Each structure stands twice: as C-alpha cells, then as structure tokens.
Structure 1
Amino acid sequence: MAVGDSSQTSIRLEGKFGANVICWILGIGSLISWNSLTSIEDYYYDVFPVDLGTSGKGSIGSYMGICSIVAAFGFADALIQGGMLGDLALMCPEFIQSFLAGMAAAGALTSALRLVTKAVFNDIDDGLRRGALLFLSISTFFEFFCIFLYAFVFAKLPIVKYYRSKAALEGSLTVSSDLSAAGIQTDLTQKLVDGYVENLQRLSNKELLFQNMDYALDLFLIFVLTLSIFPGFLYENTGEHQLGSWYPLVLVATFNIWDLISRYIPLIQCLKLESRKGLLAIVMLRFLLVPAFSFAAKYADQGWMIMLVSILGLTNGYLAVCVLMAAPKGYKGPEQNALGNLLVFFLLGGIFLGAALDWLWLIGNGSF
C-alpha cells in the first residue's frame, strides 16, 4: 500500500467510533420529540380537549394550537431527516445505520419512560398531565444538546472532515459552503476553490430518482404499512385484555424495542439483504400483516397481537436500514447527498399516507 493511501486510511478511521456514537445520539434527537407525542396518546384519548396549553380549559382555539405545534414537529422532523441522511449518505454506510438505530432508540427510550411515568403518576391527581409535561421537558433539553453536538463536535471530527472535503472536491457546493462556514479549510477544498475541479458531469435529480426508483418505492411502502398500523391502530382496535390500560403501552413498547434491535442486524454481513429484487419482494409480502392484524384484533388474544407487533417492528427497522445503506453506493458526493434527500422525501411520503390510512381502521371498527 502506498504511503498516501495509508495516511488517507488512517484519517478515515480516526474518530470513526466517536462519529458512530454521535450519529446514534443525533438519531435519538431527531425523533425523541415526535415519539414523546405518540407515547402520550393515552393522555389525549383520556382528557382531550382538556389540553396541556390551558391546564384543562380547552377550546377549539387551543385544539388548533396543539395541531399547529404537531405540524411544526412534523415539518422540523422532515428537515432534520432529509438534511442528516443527505449528509451521512456521502460518508460511510455505518453512519447511516447508527443514525437510523438512534431514531429507533428514541422510540424505545420514550416508551420505557412512558411506562415508568405511568407507574409513578398513575395514582396521583393530574398524573397524566404531569407525565406529559415531563416528556416534553426531557425532549426539549435533548434537542438543544443535539444541536450543540452536531454544530461543535461532529463537524470537527477528522473522519467527518475527510468525507466532506472529498465530497467538496467531487463538486458538492453545499458541502464546500458548509466547510467554509465552519472555518475548515483543507487542501482538497482549496483545490476546489482554485478551480481545479471543472466541468464535472453530474446526474440530475430526475436521473438519480429513475435509477433508484425501486429503493424509493421500498421506503414509501415500508412506512405506508407501518404508519397505517402504528400507533393509531394499537390504541383503537386492541379490545379488552388482561393488561387493561397498560395493553396499548406494552404494544407500542414492543414495536419500538424490536424496531431498535432489527436496525443492528444489517451490521452482520451474512444477514444484510442487498438484493434489490429481494428487498422489493419482502416489502410487498409485508402487506400480509394487514389482514393478520385485522383478524387478531377481532378473534385472537393479546399474545398473538404482541407477536404481530414484534414482526411489524422487526421488518420495519431491518428493511429501512438495508435500503438506506445500499442506495448511495457507487455515486459521487453530490449525487449521494441528493439521493439521500430524495429517499427521505419518499420515506416521509409513506409516513404521511400511512397516517392518513390509519383512519380506515376506525371505519372498520364502527367508530363513525
């Protein structure tokens, strides 16, 4: 191996473990607020419009205010996921895996915290509201911590500087601007500024999407199915069981735990699914969970429902990580960045449609 190759390999490895840890924490930060909202749905079902903002004196105005806040969370979530996955797509696939695992960890952590707060505040006056306030306070603190971590720690790691400089040399103007704004000037970015890189042939967003339409469709369908069941169906269609009011919370926690575990499976090379046809086939077969959940809600006991929720979480995390780790390979930095953004667009489109389709369970349940 040449001396230059050895030094570049050393730079790539330096700080890789720390970068993986930070990506995991940032993944938690990207979804902890949203998961806090979904984990306190029992509060909204029990007392809404007795809402947080008015201490139990709700009105249509306060209801619209809550809806606006939720919409703001969704808007921020889209920006963060698109920006982060676009940024990490031009680095090594392990960073994407860590970030996605962190997103799943956010669900597992909030579910665990929700179970603890329910146990602590269950017999206390105004306990549900206090638990909700605790959730939001923790989320707010963690969000500010992640902003600091990304801006002042992650960007200065040698491995991150290396990948961003490499992307800038390949023609990524966004990354070049980010490096300059952070006061980071390297030989690679200097070459770009001096005009050594000219007339780079880049794929348009349309061409990128056409070449990766199967990956985009995978992500769209994965999250359409998941969000059409989780979490709304688990609160509306679970019936009466031995666990009582704990039952939907246990189902949500079960999904989040298996979603988290499954996002580490692709790190085992022999278990990582890379076949594009294989990914699409499994994504389509996963829709068999719809009649399975419908049957279980009407005729099966809580054990069968817990098993189905486990399968839902297991396949959700595993397939999403496999797709997002495989898709950016073989492209230059600018294309990887753009492709990451495009794939997140389809992922969030699936979440939106899945959440909308969640209302169909209410119709089938005779709630209208």
Structure 2
Amino acid sequence: MAQLKEPSGMQKLQVVMEAEPIRDTCRLVYVIHFMLGAGNLLPWNALITAVDYFGQLYPARHVERVFSVAYMGSSLFVLVLMLSWGGCRGKQRFRIRMNVGFCMFVASVMVTPLLDWEGNIIGSNNNNINNAVGFAAIVASVVVCGLADGLIGGSLVGSAGRLPKQYMQAVFAGTASSGVLVCILRIITKASLPQTPQGLRTSAHFYFIVTAFILLACIICCNLLYKLPTMQHYCKPILQDHHIPTSSSSRHLFWDVARKIRWPALGIFMIYTVTLSIFPGFIAENLKSKILQDWYPVMLIATYNVADLVGKSLTATYVVESIGKTTWGCIARLVFYPLFTVCLHGPKWLKTEVPMAFLTISLGLTNGYLTSVLMILTPKSVSTDEAEVSAVVMAVFLGMGLVSGSVLGWFWII
C-alpha cells in the first residue's frame, strides 16, 4: 500500500481558508493590518512632506530626490536579504522583525528634532561644516528608515499574502492613509504657523513627533496581532510546520515563484517606476503657480495622497479579476511621461492648475488601485505553499520600481 504524504502547513491552511471563515470580531485583525500598513509608510511620508523645512535648510541639494534614492535603495537591500535568509515564516520571527523595524523607525524620525534641540546643528546655515554634518546625519537617518521599511514591509506583506485577501487590502489602504494624515498635518501647520525658519522647524518637528507616537502604537499592535483568535485560526497550520528552508532552497524558490508571477511582478515594477520618477520630486520642485504660490506643491501632494487612498480603498468593494488586464493597465501608465512633460514645457494653458490637478489625481488613483489589485491577486494565483514567497517577491519588485523611479526622477531636473 502506498504511503500517504502528510500535507504541509500551507496545504492545511488552504483547507482552513476554504472552510467557513472565522469571524473577525470588531474587524480588529483588519484594523491592525491597516494600522501596521500606515505605520510602515508614515516615516517616509513625514520626511517628504516636510519639503518646506528641508528645502529652506538645503536649497541646492534636491532633498526629495536624495531622500528617495537613499530610502528606496536601503529598503530594497533588506527585502533581498530577507529572501536570501529563507523568507519570513513564523510568528516569532514576524514579531522580532516588526519590533526591530518599528524601533528603528522611532529612532530615525527623532533624529531631526534631536539635532535641532542639541546645539541647533542642522539649522546653522551660516556654518558650512555644520550644515554638511547636519545633512549627512539626516540622510543617514533616511537610510535607517529605509532599512526598517524593508524589514517591516517584507514581513507584513509576506504574512498578509497567506491570509484572506481583505487583509492585504487593509495593509495597502493603510499605507495610503499615512500620506493623507501627514498632508492634513502639513496643511494645518502651514495655515497656523508663520513661514519663517522657526515656523517651518516647528511644523517639521510636529510631523516627526506625531509619527513617533503612532509608531509606538504600531509596536503594541504587532505584538497583539498573533494573539487574536482569528490569526491563530488561520496561522495554526503554518506554525505546526517546523520546516525552515535553507538559503539555497530559498533562492531556488524565489526564482521559481518569480518565473510564475513574472507578469504581475513586471506590472508592480512599472507602477512605481512611473510614479516615483514623477512624485514627489517633479511636483515639489518643478511646478509654479501664481495663484497658489507656495501652497501649490502642498495641495498637489495632498491631492495625490487622497487619490492614492481612494484607489486602494476601491478594492474593498471591487477587484478586477484579471492579472493580465491589470498588468497592461500598469504598462499603459507610461503615458504619464509625455503628459507631464507637456504640462511643463507645452502651451501655457496646460501649465495651469486644473490640468495638473487632473493629472495628479489620475496618477494617484491608478497607482493605488493597480497596486492593491496586483498585491491581492498575485498570492492567490500560486499554490498556498508559495503564497507568502510570492507576496515578498512582489514587494521586492515593488522596491525595485521605487529605486528605478527615484533614479529616473533626477531627469526631471532638466
């Protein structure tokens, strides 16, 4: 008689997920995933939203573009390392990585306020040495933020990839909400504080301090998550599977899964190559408005973030059930390059606020919706044994798109 092979943890999970879904009491698991998604991107949004402050300190350094390359490059580096080390399976490894990542976030976002409070180093524009030291310290803190982003993002997306699709949607809706939150804070501070060096400094400190408190709340959330009955119900089969892949088998699994999901991986790469080469650098530095003046980049960045949140929230009600069509939609976003170029160098009527607002809304809406659709569908398009790895592979290609877009963003200077 042939010996029956015992099903793996992920195969057991498939049986669990295909059965009657357990009730998520008060949608607490959904809310925590939303909160962790917001915390994952909140430091980055706080950094790029403080554009007036850093621009006043370092007017000739193209701060947004430097930050983008430093942050995205270090984040991608960590994601690749995570795959090389054997994925992010297991409750304990998840908690450790999330705790370490959020602690790194808290430390890095407090660098700017601490440097100001301790000797006013980065605010001394009359001293070139101090100014250079301050800028180097800020960029170093951005690199640490990027490392934390890769650690948290890879763990969170990998975990959500093996759960029902609403939790992946919650993660990415949360990332979009962080941009909206920081934009609201920026509008409030810009309207209530004078646009002097001291006023800009107070505004930036406010962003970073609020961010730090939210990140502390995220630490509590990530430690609470696996104690909830819903998570224990879905993940118990996985936790009973004690097999931990070696680095060699992990690399083989990475390439095998990457081959299977090459089209959605291309799509997610294209999304962020296009988006990051335009936003925020082009919007923050290249556009001028006689009507809105210095409010113009603030309002455009807020418009983009709201549109991105709307796009990622739409997948809670409707998801295009075709990876192929979604991938073609991602490639079609290349049309934003000529459209934004025409708005910069074309007829005067195209340089006005209304066409730019329409393009910015379109950029954010398509970014949010297409990202959410691909991240929801892709882990479900492979076997359950590969769902977690496929989600992390998608995160790697997303990171590659961020780096590619950040580098291409320099061409908008011309």
Interval of TM-score (by shorter of Structure 1 and Structure 2): 0.7 to 0.9
Q: How far apart are 1:49 and its partner, in Å? A: 7.3
- Deviates further, 320-329 or 331-340: 331-340
The residue type paired with residue 27 of structure 1 is G
Cα pair 2:289 2:353 within 8 Å, conserved? no
Write the deviation string for residues 319-351 of structure 1: whole angstroms up to 9, x where unpaired: 000001001115455421111111101101111
User: Equivalents in 1 of 2:32, 2:162: separation in Å?
Assistant: 16
Which residue matches 1:279? 326
Letter in 1 for 2:227: K
2:282–2:409 contact (8 Å) kept in structure 1:
yes
CA contact (8 A) 2:56 2:197 kept: no
Map of 1:1-368 to 2, 5 A cutoff? 12-15=22-25, 17-48=27-58, 53=115, 54=121, 56-57=123-124, 58-122=130-194, 126-151=198-223, 153-169=224-240, 173=244, 204-269=253-318, 272-298=319-345, 299=347, 300=350, 301-363=352-414
Alpha-carbon contact 2:272-2:401 (below 8 Å) kept? yes
Distance 1:49 1:67, change over 3 A: farther
- Taking structure 1 as the reference length, the TM-score comes to 0.84
Q: 2:17 touches 2:234 (CA, 8 Å); kept in 1?
A: no
Per-residue displacement from partner, 1:108-142 (whole Å, max 9, x unpaired)? 01011101011111256610001001111111111
Q: In the alignment, is the contact (CA less than 8 A) between 2:123 and 2:131 conserved in 1?
A: no
Answer yes or no: is the 8 Å Cα contact 2:323–2:377 preserved in 1.
Answer: no
The amino acid of 2:153's aligned partner reads Q
CA distance in 1, matches of 2:39, 2:184: 16
Rounded Cα–Cα distance in structure 2 between residues aligned with 1:144 and 1:6? 33
Q: 1:104 to 1:232 in 2, by over 3 A?
A: same
Displaced runs of 4 or more, over 3 A: 5-11, 49-52, 168-174, 330-334
RMSD: 2.4
Kept in 2: contact 1:90–1:167 (CA 8 A) = no
- Give the CA deviation at 1:222: 0.3
Q: Which amino acid aligns with 2:236?
A: S
Aligned residue pairs, count: 329
* Contact 1:262/1:317, CA 8 A, preserved across alignment: yes
- Aligned-pair identity in percent equals 29
Q: CA deviation at 1:7?
A: 12
Counterpart for residue 198 of structure 1: none
Name the amino acid aligned to 1:70. V
Q: CA deviation at 1:148?
A: 1.1
Shift of 1:209: 0.8
Q: Which amino acid aligns with 1:292?
A: L
Contact 1:24 1:100 in 2 (8 A): yes
Structure 1 residue 43 displacement after superposition: 1.3
CA positional deviation for 1:228: 0.4
Decide whether the 8 Å contact of 1:266 with 1:321 is kept in 2: yes
Q: Distance in 2 between matches of 1:267 and 1:104?
A: 14
Q: Which runs of 5+ in 1 are unaligned?
A: 175-202, 364-368
